[in-house]
Amino acid sequence: MGSIVSDFLPTFLLGFSSLFPLINPVGTALIIQPYFSDLDGPSRKQHAFRIVLICFLMGFITLHLGSFILKFMGVSIPATQTAGGIVIAVLGFNLLNSQAASNDVEDGKRNIDDSIFYPLSFPLTLGPGGLATLIALSAHVHSDGNNFLSPKMTAITLSLLVILAIAYFCFANTSMLVKRMGSNGSQVVNRLMSFLVFCIGIQMTFTGIMGLIKSSA
């Protein structure tokens, strides 16, 4: 029992800290607010649930099958960590040095039903950086000999589910977030999350490079 807890908690915290800045529920909710502006309360909740459900299914499949697909293609775990880290670091750097993320979304009325998968689910909520992180986390867990039902895989799955639950709450209450935070507050949150994404990418790249060096020694 003690070993299960010792495996579960650190891995849950690793998954949560790695994925939360990338999914960024508060920042993403502020970005997608224009899509929700004409919806009433029940419709907001319905569409928010559809977005997080799609993201969970994408994340679950990526987490549990991504590393096996890469293994089948002959891509090593350290290479996956290095490539994923570079993608995440570049993503964080670009976000950190870009204009406010909300500028990437056009103003005006939108047909949200046509936008549920793209761009609201992918890439605004769970984008390439999040998927690359899930593959890297899966590779990290499987490198320790863990299987689908291991405490570590369960911990990462649960961390994704918790973050998406937070995202659901934020998406369903976008108007309240906008009123409370304002434009300056949303920019601060986005910049902070972007910096954390950049740091996570650098660390993941370093870990992958060290793994490549050890494997070639």
**pLDDT 10s digits, 124-153:** 899 877 888 898 888 777 666 556 678 889
Q: What's the chain's length in residues?
A: 217
**Which are the contacts of 146, defined by CB distance < 8 A and separation ≥ 6?**
152, 153
Comparison of pLDDT for 69 and 155, the residue scoring more? 155
Report the percentage of the chain scoring pLDDT > 70: 85
Task: Give backbone dihedrals phi and psi of 75, rounded to 5 degrees, phi first.
Answer: -95, 125
In angstroms, what CA-CA distances link 124 with 29, 103, 141, 187?
9, 13, 26, 16
First to last CA, the chain: 37
Q: What angle do CA 141, 142, 147 make, to 5 degrees?
A: 100
Report pLDDT for 101. 44
More confident residue, 10 or 34: 10
| Residue 37, both tokens | 């502006």
Q: Which single residue is written with the structure tokens 């870009």?
A: 98
Model pTM score? 0.73
How many angstroms separate the CA atoms of 30 and 180, rounded? Answer: 11
**What is the predicted pLDDT for the residue at 145?**
58
pLDDT of residue 3: 57
User: Which tokens sit at 78?
Assistant: 């350290």
Tell whether omega for the bond before 119 is within 30 degrees of 0, i.e. cis: yes
74: phi then psi, degrees, rounded to nearest 5 = 85, 20
Half-sphere exposure of 59 (CA within 13 A, CB side): 32
> pLDDT tens across 42-51, in order?
999 999 999 9
pLDDT value at position 56?
A: 98
Residue 57 has pLDDT above 90, yes or no: yes
What is the average per-residue pLDDT within 172-199? Answer: 77
Q: At what angle do helices 41-72 and 151-172 cross, to 10 degrees?
A: 150
What's the angle, vertex CA 162, arms to CA 47 and CA 14, rounded to 5?
135
In our burial notation (b when 16+ CB lie closer than 10 A, e otherwise), range 148-173 reads eebbbbbbbbebbeebbebbbbbbbb
For residue 179, give every residue at least 6 positions away whose Cβ sits within 8 Å of its Cβ, in sequence order, or none. none
